[in-house]
Amino acid sequence: MKLIRTVQTIREQIKKARDKKIGFVPTMGYLHDGHLSLVEQAKKENDLVVMSIFVNPLQFGPNEDFERYPRNEQKDAKVAKEKGVDILFMPSVEEMYPEDMSIQMTITNGTDVLCGSSRPGHFDGVATVLTKLFHLIQPTSAYFGLKDAQQFAIVNTLVSEMNFPLSLIGLPTVRETDGLAKSSRNVYLTDDERKEAVALYASLQHAQKLIVDGLNNPATIIMEVKKVIKNRTKARIDYVDILNYPNLQKINVMNGQVIIAIAVQFTHARLIDNIILSANGERVDRLVQGG
């Protein structure tokens, strides 16, 4: 595995691989099984796998956890190598943003719901860093976990409208044995909160069962999801919502593909989870867009 830290060197390496299919896995590090499942799929479908590890300051608000976001570069590099990553791009903030950005990217659709409504500017920062990374890596396909389904939808719009010549692959959320979605922020949970956190996925499963059983009123389903979370956790609910997907628009009745998404705030950890369902309530675990 080649570990690269500079823009110039990654450009040189990508230029040498111009005739190869490149699978790209962008991450913020502190790697877990969710990230590694993306690498596994990228290896199956490409000649070369490139992973980036970069905690992007542009997508953190002034009161968010950029400084304390978990990092472990040495462990991440070891894990990436063992998993078969060919090139690990791990730049510094100064390397990615040597000067203050004079170009501001603004996402105008799909950001006033879910996480975007409480994190103004977050997806602008995501779009900016991914634009830079897509230009540098020039991937054939880029792989994202559907735990961040709003991000996947917005990146799809970015790729489509900016005419990036790549496919986006959305893969299933990887979970602990008790159902909790794997996340770098899970380390912030207390022991009691970790036990309570299983209620998040349980609430989504409850919602899916209601839909399969014929309930098609989003407001009623949202109320039922909130009830599960409130009864089983002490967390503060940030949002519970049902939107069509990937357009991320409000709906009055269940028809077509939808996302049921939740976010809750524990003492020191904000956790998100979701499921994407077809019109008849079947789980959608893989999405391919573009290409």
Active-site residue list: 35
- Would the annotation count 29 as a binding residue? yes
Ligand-binding annotation for 174, yes or no, is: yes
Residue 105, annotated as binding a ligand: no
Contact 87, 50 (CB under 8 A): yes
d(CA 122, CA 264) in angstroms, rounded, equals 17
Please check if 104 is assigned to a binding site.
no
| Strand 258-265 versus strand 236-244 pairing type | antiparallel
* 256 belongs to an annotated ligand binding site: no
The answer to the question of whether 214 is labelled as a binding residue is no
Handedness of CA 115, 120, 123, 125 (dihedral sign): negative
Q: Is 208 annotated as a binding residue?
A: no
CA gap 119, 123 in Å, rounded:
8
| Alpha-carbon span 123 to 127, nearest angstrom | 6
**Is 33 annotated for ligand binding?**
yes
Residue entry with tokens 């022991």: 191
**32 a known binding residue?**
yes
Q: Report the C-alpha dihedral over residues 61, 64, 67, 69, rounded to 10 degrees.
A: -120
Residues flagged as binding site for ATP = 28-35, 145-148, 174, 182-185
Q: Which residues are annotated as a binding site?
A: 28-35, 59, 145-148, 151, 174, 182-185
Residues belonging to the binding site for (R)-pantoate are: 59, 151
> Which residues carry a binding-site annotation for beta-alanine?
59
